[in-house]
Structure 1
Amino acid sequence: MKTFYFIAIFVLFSMLAFNANAQWDDDTGCMSCHNGIEQFSQVDGMADLTCVDCHNGDGIATNMKTAHTDMWANPTDLRVINDTCGSCHPDEVDNAKTSLHATMAGVISGTRYNFASQDRNAIHATYDVKALKTGREGTVESLTQIPSYDPTQPESNTNSPGDDYLRNQCLRCHIWSDGHQRDGDYRASGCAACHVEYSNDGTYEGGDKAIDKTQKDRPRKHKMTKKMTVDQCQHCHNRGGRTGVSYKGMMESDGYGTPYTEDGDKQGKLHGKHYNFLEADLHYDAGMSCIDCHTKNEMHGDGYLYTKKEHALEIRCVSCHGTPTTEATLKTSRDMPLNNLKREGKTVTLTTKNDGKKLDVPQLKDKELSKEGYVAMVKIASHMEKMECSTCHAAWAPQCYGCHAKQDISKPNGDWLNGTGDDPSKQGNKANLAKNAFSWDESRSYVRWEMPALGINHRGKVSTFVPGCQVFLTQVDGKKSIVSNKTYTTVDGTSGISHNPIQPHTMSKKSRTCEECHTNPKVLGLGSGVYDINRNFPDGKAPIDFELERFVDENGKQLQSTSHEGARPFNKQEMDRISRVGTCLACHGSDEINATGKAPNDVTHNKVIRKMAEKAK
C-alpha cells in the first residue's frame, strides 16, 4: 500500500511540475499543454507533420523540461533549417542563404565605404557564403564575414568602428536574426521572418492555452502564410531607404508624438519613432502589397551573390505599364512572366496575391494622357529614355540628414552576428546576443520629405537621391572623449557623408512639376543654402565645409559619396542644360518646350531675342 501511495504522489507531482493547468495525455503528447494551437500549414505533406518533426524535442515526455530538451523554438532559423525546411525545399533554402536578405552585402559595403574601410565593391556579408551561380553583372563568387572591432588596436581597413556600428545596430535586419524587440520590429528569423506573421505589438492572438497572450515577441498565430502583408515587410524595411514605411505614407517625425490620444497620452512609437502620415503610394491605396510587384527571386534569392539591391531587382515600372510607344511585356527584366498579370485585348488586369482583388493596370500606349503627361512623355521623348519613372512620379522621399552616431567603448553590447544559448534557433534573438560589440546611440541633424534631389543612378538614368549614411562619429570611453564628430574621406576622395539614388515607393499619379525640377537648386543637388553647418557645431567648426543637402557644387564637383557603383551627381553640363530649361519655362511654359529646343546656346538665343525686339519696333 505504501508503494502505491508513493507512486501515485510521484505521478501527481510530475504532472503538476509540467503544467499546473494541464494534465498529460499519452495519446496527444505535446497537445496536452498546447491545446488549441493552430495547424501550422494545410499544404500537402506539411499538414501531416508532428510537432517534433519540426521542433525536435521529446513528444512523449511527461514533464516540460524533458519535452523541451534539444527543442528548436524556431525550426525555420537558418542555423537549423537544413534539417527542417531544407529536407523538402533544399533549393529554396540554399538560395535564401545567398540572398541579400541574408547577406546584407549592400548595406555592409555601403557603410564600410563611407567609413573609408573599402571601395564600393562588396567583399563582406553577415557570414561566410559562396555563390551557387556566378557570372551575372553585379554579383561575386563569395563573401566573407565582416571583421570585429577592437578599440585597443589602431583603426584600419580590418579594424573599423563602422564594423562595430553594423554589428550592434544595422545588422538586426537580416534573416539570420530575429527582429529588434520593440513595437513594429517583432519578427522571427529564417523563413518565418516573412512566412509567419507578427503583429506590430508582437503578441499571440491564437488559441494555444499554454501561450501568454500578453507576452511580447510572439507570432500572431502558429501558422505559415504565403500572403505576406505590407506590415510584415515593414518590420524590417523601416530604416535605411525606409521604403516599407514610405509605401504606407509614413514619415518619421522629430519625436513629438502628437496629436494626443483620447485620454491625453502621446501617440505610441513604431520602430522606435513617432510618425507623420503623408500621401501613401498609389499602389498601396489601390490595395497592392509588396509581393504583388516583387518576385520570388528578388526575395528568396536565386543562387547569385548580389552586391547591391539594384542588381537583384527584376521588376520595372514598364513591365506592367509599358511606355507611350511600347506595350507592357508583363515580364520581369529577366524575361520571367509575372503570373498575377493578364492581358485581354488592350486591357491588363492585376490580381492581388493576398485578397484576389482585380485591378486595371493603366497602359501608357493606349492611354489618353493629360496635357502635362503628353509634354513629359511624348513631346519630350528623351524623358522616357533618360529618366526613371519615379523621378517625376515620386511625390516625396524621406530625407534624414546628419546621422550622429556615438560609440561608447566602456559599454559592451550585443553583436547581432554572435548568439549564445543551447537552442541554436534562438541565437539570433536580441536577448541571446553575445556582448562582443559596443553600445551606440544615434541621432540626426534634421529630417525633410519635400523636394528630394535628383542625380544619375547606376543605370545612367536620372533618379531621386536621398541622404545615405551621413555619419558623424563620436567615440567615448565613458565620459572620456576619444573622437568628436569625425567624418571620413572615402578611398575615392569624396566625403563619407553620402547621398544615394532610390526608388522611394511614394508613387503618385500627379507628377512633380517641371518648374520644381528645372528651377530649384536643391533638386540639382546644390542644397537650399539655408542650413549653416558651422553654427550647428558646439565650437563653430564643422568637419565638412558644405551643407548637408549639398552633394555637388556649381562646377559639377562631387562633394558627397555615392556608394552605388556608377551613381553620381549631375555634372556641370547637365546642370546647365536643366537650368536653361527652367529659364525658358518662365516665358514659354512647359507645353512649348520641346526635346531639341530652338536655341542651343545663349548666343543663338540672344540673336533670336534681338530679332524679335527689332520686329516689334
Structure 2
Amino acid sequence: MKKISFLIAIPMILGIGMSNALAQWDENKGCLSCHEGIEQFSDIDGMADLTCVDCHNGNGDATSLESAHKNMWANPTDLRVVEQTCGSCHSDEVDNAKTSLHATMAGMISGTRYNFGSQTRDAIHATYDVKALKTGREGTVDALTQLPSYDPTKAESDSNSPGDDYLRNQCLRCHIWSDGHQRDGDYRASGCAACHVEYSNAATYEGGDKAIDKTQKDRPRKHKMTRAPSVEQCQHCHNRGGRTGVSYMGMMESDWYGTPYKADGSKQGKLHGKHYNFLQADLHYDAGMSCIDCHTKDEMHGDGYLYTKKQYALEVRCETCHGTTSADATLATARGNKMTNLKRDGNKVTLTTKIDAKELNVPQLNGAELSEEGQVAMVKIASHMEKMECSTCHAAWAPQCYGCHAKQDVSKPNGDWLDGEHSDISQLGKKSNLNKQAFSWSESRSYVRWENPALGINHRGKVSTFVPGCQVFLTQVDGEKAIVTNKTYVTKDGTSGLSHNPIQPHTMSKKSRTCEECHTNPKVLGLGSGQYDIKRNFPDGEAPVDFELERFVDEQGNQLQSTSHEGARPFNKQEMDRISRVGACLACHGSDELGAEGNAPDDVTHNKVIQRMVEKAR
C-alpha cells in the first residue's frame, strides 16, 4: 500500500460509520479511496510516515470494505491495544496512564464502598487489576484488584454489595477504559483519545471526510489529535460527583425545568442529562485559562504511583502561581516540578495559556496593595493564611446535591461498564457493547443548592469548603416487589453512610466570602440551615436518619455524617465556639477592629472597649 501521512482514521476508531455511497477503489489512494478529505491526525514530527494500518491493523490492500476492515482496531488508543500503537513510541506515558486515577477510579470506588459500609477508607479496588510502577509515596498503594460484581441471590456482604453494582452500572462510566455515556455532553472515546481527541457536546463530525455521516452521533469534531484538551473536553467526564468541570464554567444543574425557553419556543436541551442554570464562572475561566494551564501532565497522565484519592495525586497549589503574603510564587508544584507555562520578569509573573498562547498577568500576593478586607483577612489575622485553603474564602459558591435516592431493579439486567463483548477488543468499553452483568438503576435527589457552602477540615488539616458527597438512600426492587426501601448504611467507623467531603469547587472569585457569612451562619459551620424537615419527606415510615441532610456535625462537635477522605472532619466544638465568638464580635465591630487572633486579647481590654462604646453612645 502507498504510504499515507498519519491518518489514524479515528472516524473508524471512534466508531465513525461510512456513508452509503462508497468511492471507487484506487490502489494509489488505498484507504483514502473512501476516506477522501480526512484530516491528518497529527502534525507532530516523526508521525508523517505512518499509514492507516500501522495504527489500525486491517488490510490496506483490500478492495472491499469488509476485507479492508477485517481484524481492524477501531480505536488504536484504547487501553486494551495501546501498547502496540501509541505505546510503541510513548511507552512510559501508556504505562503510567494505566496507574492513573483516570484509569483506576480508586477514589470514587473506595468512597462509594465506604459509604455503603463495605470497606474502610483505604483503596483496595480499581476498574481492573493493576500494580503500581512506583511505591512508597503518601496516599498510594502497591496494587489494586478489580471491583467485585454483585449477586442479589446471595446475602449482602463486604464482597457482595449493591454499591458495587451501582458503581458498575452508573458511576464508572467515566474511566478511560470505557467510551463515554451516549448522550449530549458525555460522548467521548476511550484510552488516549478520551482526552486527546475533541468531541463537541452534540458529538457530530465536522471534518472533511466524505465517507462520514455528519448527522450521526458519537463522532469526534475532526480526525485530529490535540495536545491541549479544552475545558469542554474535560467536562465530558467532570460533570458528576464534585462537578468541577461544569462549576468551572459557572454551570449548576437545575431541578429539571429546562427554562427559560429558546427563541423557537422550545425548552432548553439537556446536557449531561441535566438542565443548567448559569452562575458566576471561575475567574481563571473568565481570564481564558483551561484545565491544563494548572493541572500537570503527571496529574493527568499518572506518574506510576497508585493514588488512593485525587488529593494525593494533586501537586499544583495556589501559591505555585500567586505566592503568599510573605513568600514569592514558587512557579513550581508542591513536588518541585517546574510549571513550564509560567515565567518571572522582576516582580512580574506571567502565564501563557496552552491552547491559544494568551499571555496573562498573574497577581502576586507578596507586596501587593490589598483592600481593607484583604489586609484584615490575610495579614492582620495571619492564621487565615496558615490554617485555611485559599478556596475557603475565594470560592464564590459550590454545587450541593442533597439526598441521592438510588433505586436498583434486580429484575432488569443492564450494562456493566467493566464488562464488554465485541470482536474488536478496542470496542469493549463502548456502551452498546457492554454485557448486561449489572442491574438497572435510577437516581433522584431531595434538593440542590449552591449558596453558602459549608466548611470543615480537610486531609491537610486546613479549613476547606465541604459539599455533600454520596448521600445514598437505597431502594431495591424486584419488578413491582420492594425488597429494601430508603436504606442508609453505617460505615466501618460507625458514622452514617451519608457524607460530606472537602472540595476545591473551582469557582474562584476575586471578591471573597464575607467575614459575617462564615462566622455567623450555622450552615457554614456544618450545623445545617434548620429548614429541611427530613421526617416529613418520608411519609410512609420513619426517616432513616434523624438529622437534616445539610447537618454533618452537632453543636457539641459530634460527627453525624461520614467523610471518605482520611483525616478530613467537621469542626470540633472548640473550633465552632471560636468561630462563632468572632461572629458575635462582628455584630458590633467591623472586621478591621478585630485583633490578630480574631478577638480581644483579654477580658479587661474587651470591657474597656465596651465601656468606650457606651460612653460614645450617650
- After TM superposition, the structure 1 = structure 2 runs for residues 402-413 of structure 1, keeping only pairs within 5 Å, are 402-413=403-414
1:207 is aligned with what amino acid? G
For 1:487 and 1:362, locate their aligned partners in 2 and report how far apart those are by CA, in whole Å.
Answer: 47
Cα drift, residue 132 of structure 1: 0.2
User: 1:332 aligns to what?
Assistant: 333
1:440 is aligned with what amino acid? W
User: 1:227 aligns to what?
Assistant: 228
User: 1:395 aligns to what?
Assistant: 396
- After TM superposition, the structure 1 = structure 2 runs for residues 434-445 of structure 1, keeping only pairs within 5 Å, are 434-445=435-446
1:235-260 deviation per Cα after TM superposition (whole angstroms, max 9, x unaligned): 00000000000000000000111110
Describe the shift of the 1:309–1:613 C-alpha distance in structure 2 as closer, same or farther (beyond 3 A): closer
Segments of 5+ residues of structure 2 without an aligned counterpart are 1-17
Cα drift, residue 26 of structure 1: 1.1
* 1:242/1:398 contact within 8 Å kept: yes
Describe the shift of the 1:343–1:486 C-alpha distance in structure 2 as closer, same or farther (beyond 3 A): same
User: 1:369 aligns to what?
Assistant: 370
- After TM superposition, the structure 1 = structure 2 runs for residues 68-79 of structure 1, keeping only pairs within 5 Å, are 68-79=69-80
Describe the shift of the 1:19–1:265 C-alpha distance in structure 2 as closer, same or farther (beyond 3 A): closer
Equivalent residue of 1:443, what SS? strand
- After TM superposition, the structure 1 = structure 2 runs for residues 153-302 of structure 1, keeping only pairs within 5 Å, are 153-302=154-303
CA-based RMSD of the aligned residues comes to 1.6
* 1:526/1:550 contact within 8 Å kept: yes
User: 2:513 aligns to what?
Assistant: 512
Q: TM-score under structure 1 normalisation?
A: 0.95
Cα drift, residue 227 of structure 1: 1.7
1:208-249 deviation per Cα after TM superposition (whole angstroms, max 9, x unaligned): 111110110011111101121000000000000000000000
User: 1:11 aligns to what?
Assistant: none
For 1:513 and 1:256, locate their aligned partners in 2 and report how far apart those are by CA, in whole Å.
Answer: 32
Describe the shift of the 1:32–1:569 C-alpha distance in structure 2 as closer, same or farther (beyond 3 A): same
For 1:180 and 1:451, locate their aligned partners in 2 and report how far apart those are by CA, in whole Å.
Answer: 32
Describe the shift of the 1:560–1:19 C-alpha distance in structure 2 as closer, same or farther (beyond 3 A): closer
* 2:19/2:212 contact within 8 Å kept: no
User: 1:50 aligns to what?
Assistant: 51
1:386-409 deviation per Cα after TM superposition (whole angstroms, max 9, x unaligned): 000000000000000000000000
For 2:145 and 2:559, locate their aligned partners in 1 and report how far apart those are by CA, in whole Å.
Answer: 31
Describe the shift of the 1:606–1:345 C-alpha distance in structure 2 as closer, same or farther (beyond 3 A): closer
1:385 is aligned with what amino acid? E
1:498 is aligned with what amino acid? S
* 1:346/1:366 contact within 8 Å kept: no
1:585-605 deviation per Cα after TM superposition (whole angstroms, max 9, x unaligned): 11111011122355467x668
* 1:100/1:301 contact within 8 Å kept: yes
For 2:604 and 2:202, locate their aligned partners in 1 and report how far apart those are by CA, in whole Å.
Answer: 65
1:338-377 deviation per Cα after TM superposition (whole angstroms, max 9, x unaligned): 0100100000000000000000000001311011000000
User: 1:99 aligns to what?
Assistant: 100
Equivalent residue of 1:52, what SS? helix
Describe the shift of the 1:143–1:91 C-alpha distance in structure 2 as closer, same or farther (beyond 3 A): same
User: 2:5 aligns to what?
Assistant: none
Cα drift, residue 607 of structure 1: 5.2
Q: Bigger CA drift: 208-217 or 384-393? A: 208-217
Residue 313 (structure 1) aligned with residue 310 (structure 2): no
* 1:388/1:462 contact within 8 Å kept: yes
- After TM superposition, the structure 1 = structure 2 runs for residues 381-460 of structure 1, keeping only pairs within 5 Å, are 381-460=382-461
User: 1:142 aligns to what?
Assistant: 143
Equivalent residue of 1:581, what SS? helix
Describe the shift of the 1:289–1:480 C-alpha distance in structure 2 as closer, same or farther (beyond 3 A): same
Equivalent residue of 1:343, what SS? strand
2:116 is aligned with what amino acid? F
* 1:19/1:64 contact within 8 Å kept: no
* 2:19/2:211 contact within 8 Å kept: no
Equivalent residue of 2:354, what SS? coil
* 2:419/2:434 contact within 8 Å kept: yes
Q: TM-score under structure 2 normalisation?
A: 0.95
Cα drift, residue 21 of structure 1: 3.5
For 2:68 and 2:97, locate their aligned partners in 1 and report how far apart those are by CA, in whole Å.
Answer: 31
Cα drift, residue 155 of structure 1: 0.2
For 1:252 and 1:244, locate their aligned partners in 2 and report how far apart those are by CA, in whole Å.
Answer: 12
- Identity, % of aligned positions: 80
User: 2:492 aligns to what?
Assistant: 491
Cα drift, residue 540 of structure 1: 4.7
User: 1:477 aligns to what?
Assistant: 478
Cα drift, residue 46 of structure 1: 1.5
For 2:117 and 2:166, locate their aligned partners in 1 and report how far apart those are by CA, in whole Å.
Answer: 14
Describe the shift of the 1:434–1:528 C-alpha distance in structure 2 as closer, same or farther (beyond 3 A): same
For 1:48 and 1:330, locate their aligned partners in 2 and report how far apart those are by CA, in whole Å.
Answer: 38
Residue 468 (structure 1) aligned with residue 469 (structure 2): yes
Q: Bigger CA drift: 364-373 or 188-197? A: 364-373
Count of aligned pairs: 600
Q: Bigger CA drift: 60-69 or 523-532? A: 60-69
1:23 is aligned with what amino acid? Q
* 1:319/1:330 contact within 8 Å kept: yes
For 2:310 and 2:105, locate their aligned partners in 1 and report how far apart those are by CA, in whole Å.
Answer: 9
Describe the shift of the 1:598–1:515 C-alpha distance in structure 2 as closer, same or farther (beyond 3 A): closer
Describe the shift of the 1:614–1:152 C-alpha distance in structure 2 as closer, same or farther (beyond 3 A): closer
* 2:388/2:464 contact within 8 Å kept: yes
For 2:551 and 2:513, locate their aligned partners in 1 and report how far apart those are by CA, in whole Å.
Answer: 20
User: 1:13 aligns to what?
Assistant: none
1:297-323 deviation per Cα after TM superposition (whole angstroms, max 9, x unaligned): 000000000000000001000000001
2:82 is aligned with what amino acid? I
For 1:325 and 1:151, locate their aligned partners in 2 and report how far apart those are by CA, in whole Å.
Answer: 59
1:571 is aligned with what amino acid? N
For 2:407 and 2:414, locate their aligned partners in 1 and report how far apart those are by CA, in whole Å.
Answer: 13
Give the number of the structure whose alpha-carbon radius of gyration is greater.
1
Equivalent residue of 2:523, what SS? coil
* 2:404/2:470 contact within 8 Å kept: yes
For 1:593 and 1:513, locate their aligned partners in 2 and report how far apart those are by CA, in whole Å.
Answer: 14
1:551-609 deviation per Cα after TM superposition (whole angstroms, max 9, x unaligned): 000000000000000000000000000000000011111011122355467x6687557
Cα drift, residue 538 of structure 1: 2.5
Equivalent residue of 2:98, what SS? helix
* 1:18/1:64 contact within 8 Å kept: no
Describe the shift of the 1:461–1:178 C-alpha distance in structure 2 as closer, same or farther (beyond 3 A): same
Equivalent residue of 2:111, what SS? helix
* 2:342/2:352 contact within 8 Å kept: yes
Equivalent residue of 2:588, what SS? helix
2:120 is aligned with what amino acid? D
User: 1:109 aligns to what?
Assistant: 110
Segments of 5+ residues of structure 1 without an aligned counterpart are 1-16
- After TM superposition, the structure 1 = structure 2 runs for residues 336-351 of structure 1, keeping only pairs within 5 Å, are 336-351=337-352
User: 2:552 aligns to what?
Assistant: 551
For 2:303 and 2:609, locate their aligned partners in 1 and report how far apart those are by CA, in whole Å.
Answer: 59
For 2:604 and 2:175, locate their aligned partners in 1 and report how far apart those are by CA, in whole Å.
Answer: 57
* 1:108/1:124 contact within 8 Å kept: yes
User: 2:4 aligns to what?
Assistant: none
2:587 is aligned with what amino acid? A
Describe the shift of the 1:244–1:483 C-alpha distance in structure 2 as closer, same or farther (beyond 3 A): same
For 1:538 and 1:74, locate their aligned partners in 2 and report how far apart those are by CA, in whole Å.
Answer: 51
For 1:323 and 1:220, locate their aligned partners in 2 and report how far apart those are by CA, in whole Å.
Answer: 42
User: 1:125 aligns to what?
Assistant: 126
For 1:484 and 1:145, locate their aligned partners in 2 and report how far apart those are by CA, in whole Å.
Answer: 29
* 2:455/2:466 contact within 8 Å kept: yes
Equivalent residue of 1:576, what SS? helix
User: 1:5 aligns to what?
Assistant: none
Equivalent residue of 1:171, what SS? helix
2:397 is aligned with what amino acid? W
* 1:18/1:63 contact within 8 Å kept: no
User: 1:353 aligns to what?
Assistant: 354
* 1:172/1:416 contact within 8 Å kept: yes
For 2:336 and 2:486, locate their aligned partners in 1 and report how far apart those are by CA, in whole Å.
Answer: 48
Cα drift, residue 539 of structure 1: 1.8
* 1:18/1:62 contact within 8 Å kept: no
